[in-house]
Amino acid sequence: MAQETFAFSSSALRSLRLQQELLEQEDRRRALARESATRRFLSLSPRPPLTPHRRPKYCRDPAVHNALYTGDILRIKSIFKDETTTNMIMEMVSEELVWSPEQGLWVLSSRRQQTSALRIAASRGYSDCARHLLLQGAVVDAVVGGRAPLHDSVAAPRPDCARLLLAFGADPNLLNAEGSAPLHLCTAPESLLCAELLLAHGARVNLGTRDQQLTALHVAARQGLVAHVELYLHHGADPSCRTRQGETPLNAACAAAERPEEAERYYRVAERLLAAGANPGAAGRKDHTPLHNACSNGQPRLAQLLLRHGADATIPNCAGYTPMDCALHAVEEYRHQHPEETIALLLNHGAGPVHPKMLKFCCRHPPALEMVLNAYDRIPPPESWVGSVPPELWEEHQEFYASAQCMAGTPRRLQHLARCTVRRHLGARCHLAVPKLALPAPLRHYLQLPLTGVIS
């Protein structure tokens, strides 16, 4: 087999020869190691060695590997003619730079990778090659190099190969070396058809990964895959299922909604999960609720959705931080996403004035600082935040910062004190009750803490 090859350029042939030399060196090293281990075993044990098990056959011929990776069906048919050849382990050795702490420098290290002919064909979408291998006796669920062919086909994703493997009896619930089933590897929007095929062939929608107990719904929620979430819920996925760390799919979605351009996708995922009965107050890792995560990621629309479904705006996590504290910590990073809107939402749903030490986290964004300061009936001393304002920002917003500093420690206007009293009385009902009060529209607007650019 090693004598058969393709017509390559001179550089390609040099590369193949180098690869062959590396493989031969590795073979010699392993043979010497086996021989040494056998001698030690025989010298220590008077008993005759047991009959060895049938060892798998390996193929290290670069020409064969190249035929598989290019999907050359004619060459594949001429090479893989029986069960023995189709189930050979394809082994490749490559040199890569790794850091050696002992030597204190980067060194070349041989890295051996193993796969199977069927895995290669399935991962690259060569369905005609995969069909030939299966008909010649390739084991459809053989786990080589940590994965079975079905894992590769859905991760790629390659729906045609996945359909073929399932038709030949592939197990849709087989775990790979990392403990994930094929359904857990459907992480791209294009993998929806693969997920449908797996479910149609008996994939367990609530099956968790071996170590973390992540379900397919957790994975889809974390990736913001709206269609996948709808599919899994339709097939009975449990929106309250928790991972080993206590995370629900809603926790996963809210924690992953970090980038503004992805906000809409994660909003729709959270909307589907809440409609299916997900608990908006379920505390996960570090006692973070979905609202903590939404506020930490500067997502006012997602926070509003959670609050509308009953999330608690005052509950602390294991560090004692409330959603308001998380929102203030995120002001600097997400100042272009209108963090003052998230702060206003929390204040209108029962969040009270924060500890003065938290003001330093929002003082570089005047609208957020104004919103927080207007929750006090007396402005706290400015020492906790004034030193964190850059001189150039102070100069740009001098009127606002000067008014905030001037009002510190002095009584607010009677009108503001009345506003604080009314809001304190309404508490978490502010967002519902204020618009319904029998007051002139300007007064109702004033009760909702509008931004004016000064503190008075």
Rounded to an integer, what distance in angstroms lies between the CA atom of residue 288 and that of residue 157? 33
Any domain includes 167: yes
Cis omega (within 30 of 0) for bond into 260? no
| Cα–Cα distance measured from residue 430 to residue 356, given in angstroms and rounded to the nearest whole number | 23
- What does the alpha-carbon distance between residue 119 and residue 140 come to, in Å, rounded to a whole number? 9
Contacts of 386 (CB under 8 A, 6+ apart): 363, 401, 405
Q: Name the token pair of 419.
A: 């506003």
The answer to whether residue 61 is domain-embedded is yes
As a whole number, the mean pLDDT across the chain is 90
Q: Which two tokens stand for residue 22?
A: 């590396």
Residue 125's alpha-carbon distances to 152, 154, 181, 309, in angstroms, are 10, 10, 19, 44
Query: In b/e form, how buried is each residue of 387-425, taking b as 16+ CB within 10 angstroms?
Result: eebeeeeeeebeebbebbbebbeeebeeebeebbebbee
Tokens 């020869």 sit on residue:
17
Per the structure, how many domains does the chain have?
1
Give rounded-to-5 percent helix, strand, coil for the chain: 55, 5, 40
CA atoms within 13 A on the CB side of 368: 31
Residue 198 lies in a domain: no
199 token code pair: 């479910």
What's the token pair of residue 446? 């004033």
| 310 part of a folded domain | no
User: Model pTM?
Assistant: 0.83
Quick one: tokens of 163? 């359909």
- Label residue 52 left, alpha or beta by phi (over 0 means left) and psi (-120 to 50 means alpha): beta
- Contact between residue 375 and residue 412 where contact means Cβ atoms under 8 Å apart: no
Q: Is residue 388 part of a domain?
A: no
Q: How many CA atoms lie within 13 A of 432 on its CB side?
A: 9
Structure token pair of residue 320: 């004692």
Is 143 within the bounds of a domain? yes
The answer to whether position 122 is within a domain reads yes
Distances (CA, A) of 53 to 30, 49, 50, 56, 58: 18, 12, 9, 9, 15
Residue 199 included in any domain: no
- The CATH number given to whatever domain includes residue 125 is 1.25.40.20
Q: What is the pLDDT along the chain (456 residues), one digit of tens a residue?
A: 444 444 556 665 566 666 776 677 667 666 666 666 555 544 444 444 433 445 778 999 999 999 999 999 999 999 999 999 999 999 987 767 777 787 777 777 767 889 999 999 999 999 999 999 999 999 999 999 999 999 999 999 999 999 999 999 999 999 999 999 999 999 999 999 999 999 999 999 999 999 999 999 999 999 999 999 999 999 999 999 999 999 999 999 999 999 999 999 999 999 999 999 999 999 988 899 999 999 999 999 999 999 999 999 999 999 999 999 999 999 999 999 999 999 999 999 999 999 999 999 999 999 999 999 999 999 999 998 999 999 999 999 999 999 999 998 888 899 999 999 999 999 999 999 999 999 999 999 999 999 999 998
Helix (H) or strand (E) run with residue 94 in it? strand 89-100
Could you tell me the residue range of the domain that residue 96 belongs to?
1-37+57-101+115-175
Q: Who contacts 441 (Cβ-Cβ below 8 Å, separation ≥6)?
A: none
> Could you give the CA distance from residue 426 to residue 331 in angstroms, rounded to a whole number?
27
Helices 263-275, 300-308: axis angle to 10 degrees equals 10
